[in-house]
């Protein structure tokens, strides 16, 4: 089958079965083309929860499909490729977090949304990269234990100097791999380009950026900017999507390291097979996990 033929079959099957397809922005463009909604993980889950579809296919990684299930408990949710995990979301276990909490008594535990639903049951509130600063600012607590990404945590802490922060030494292996040296090289190669970066990159690298924000923030920045050239300091699919949206502008990847293979493991054939009932995994969570994680997410909505 050719790509266009598979896409056509996917569109036919999802309509026939009343299934909504979500595609995270780090998926390839051929997957975005068959999706009902595209964007950041939390926004996608909210959109799907408001849809009258009977089932949801989350093209992204496992924690995203779990968030989807928590916000749409009455719908069936599938992860088209069950091996699609996120190393950052899965790098801290519940037991390790309990030990960490003992070291920081009196601290509010703030979890990046990129965590497993099981881990969220042990946290006070979760945040997205777009809402992290505002939510940490609005929390009653003066002391915050930020997990699992210390880079996003430092970015938040810098903007709220009146609060005390502690961090877990984790993070996104893709964004954290970008070096200052390659950032200087990219800037020298494209002196007229603006550098847009995700706060999951290390603080010393983020210091070079003209704009720092979430994936959605970066895409909106480009939409509003009159600049002609941009170096993109987040997952490399964003370079591709932006180039499709603005063919008259130029977009350059900051680093090859910013290609997330966990995101790329999902293919059109996985989606096709999942829709046919011959692949993928239905996300099933225990009621305890659903309730505990939902509380953590609800707190984010209240504060955000």
Give the residues lining the site for ligand SF4 (CB under 6 A). Answer: 61, 86-88, 114, 172-174, 235, 260, 262-263
Nearer to ligand SF4, 7 or 234 (CB): 234
Q: Which is nearer to ligand SF4, 32 or 53 (CB)?
A: 32
d(CA 200, CA 91): 15
User: Minimum distance between the CB of residue 289 and ligand SF4, rounded to whole angstroms?
Assistant: 20
Q: Which is nearer to ligand SF4, 61 or 268 (CB)?
A: 61
Q: CA angle at residue 232 from 83 to 56, to 5 degrees?
A: 35
Task: Determine the Cα–Cα distance for residues 71 and 48; give it in Å rounded to an integer.
Answer: 8
**Alpha helix locations (H) across 142-197?**
150-159, 180-189
Query: Shortest Cβ distance from residue 277 to ligand SF4 (Å)?
Result: 26
Helix crossing, 3-16 with 268-275: angle to 10°?
Answer: 30
Answer for the pair 112, 145: CB distance below 8 angstroms, yes or no: no
Closest to ligand SF4 by CB, 7 vs 116, is 116
Q: Which residues lie below 8 Å from residue 182, measured CB to CB, with a gap of 6+?
A: 254, 255
Instruction: Output the smallest distance, CB 230 to ligand SF4, in A.
Output: 19
Q: Which candidate, 43, 66, 10, places its Cα nearest to that of 273?
A: 10
User: What's the closest the beta carbon of residue 41 comes to ligand SF4, in angstroms?
Assistant: 9
Minimum CB separation of residue 143 from ligand SF4 in Å reads 25
Question: Are 263 and 26 a contacting pair, CB within 8 Å?
Answer: yes
Peptide bond into 16 cis (omega under 30): no
- In angstroms, rounded to a whole number, what is the distance separating the alpha carbons of residues 64 and 80? 12
Residue 292 CA to its chain's centroid (Å):
21
Query: Hey, what's the torsion of the CAs at 152, 102, 64, 48, to 10 degrees?
Result: -100
HSE at residue 128, side-chain half, CA atoms within 13 A, is: 22
| Spatial CA neighbour of 194 closest among 216, 222, 214 | 222
Query: Measured from the CB atom, is 65 or 263 closer to ligand SF4?
Result: 263
**Toward ligand SF4, which CB reaches closer, 7 or 237?**
237
Least CB distance to ligand SF4 at residue 174 (A): 5
Residue nearer to ligand SF4 on the CB measure, 122 or 235: 235
127/304 Cα distance (integer angstroms):
8
Q: Report the residue number, 122 or 262, with the smaller CB distance to ligand SF4.
A: 262
Taking the complex as a whole, the smallest distance from the CB of residue 260 to ligand SF4 amounts, in Å, to: 3
Provide, rounded to whole angstroms, the least separation between the CB of residue 69 and ligand SF4: 18
How would you class 150 by CB atoms within 10 Å of its CB: exposed for 0-12, middle for 13-18, buried for 19 or more? buried
């Amino acid at each position: 089958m050719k790509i266009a033929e598979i896409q056509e079959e996917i569109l036919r099957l999802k309509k026939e079965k009343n299934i909504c397809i979500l595609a995270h922005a780090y998926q390839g463009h051929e997957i975005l083309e068959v999706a009902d909604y595209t964007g950041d993980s939390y926004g996608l889950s909210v959109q799907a929860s408001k849809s009258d579809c009977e089932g949801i296919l989350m093209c992204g990684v496992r924690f995203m499909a779990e968030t989807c299930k928590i916000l749409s408990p009455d719908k069936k949710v599938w992860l088209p490729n069950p091996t699609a995990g996120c190393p950052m979301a899965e790098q801290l276990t519940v037991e390790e977090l309990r030990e960490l909490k003992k070291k920081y008594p009196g601290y509010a535990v703030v979890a990046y949304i990129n965590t497993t639903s099981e881990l969220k049951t042990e946290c006070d509130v979760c945040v997205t990269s777009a809402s992290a600063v505002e939510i940490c600012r609005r929390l009653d607590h003066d002391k915050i234990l930020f997990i699992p990404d210390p880079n996003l945590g430092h970015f938040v802490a810098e903007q709220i100097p009146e609060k005390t922060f502690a961090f877990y030494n984790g993070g996104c292996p893709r964004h954290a791999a970008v070096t200052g040296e390659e950032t200087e090289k990219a800037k020298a190669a494209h002196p007229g380009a603006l550098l847009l970066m995700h706060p999951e990159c290390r603080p010393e690298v983020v210091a070079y950026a003209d704009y720092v924000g979430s994936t959605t923030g970066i895409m909106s920045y480009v939409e509003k900017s009159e600049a002609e050239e941009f170096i993109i300091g987040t997952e490399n699919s964003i370079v591709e999507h932006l180039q499709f949206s603005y063919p008259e502008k130029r977009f350059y990847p900051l680093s090859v390291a910013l290609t997330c293979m966990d995101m790329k493991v999902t293919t059109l054939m996985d989606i096709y097979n999942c829709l046919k009932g011959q692949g993928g995994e239905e996300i099933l969570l225990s009621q305890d996990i659903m309730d505990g994680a939902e509380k953590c997410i609800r707190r984010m909505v209240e504060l955000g």
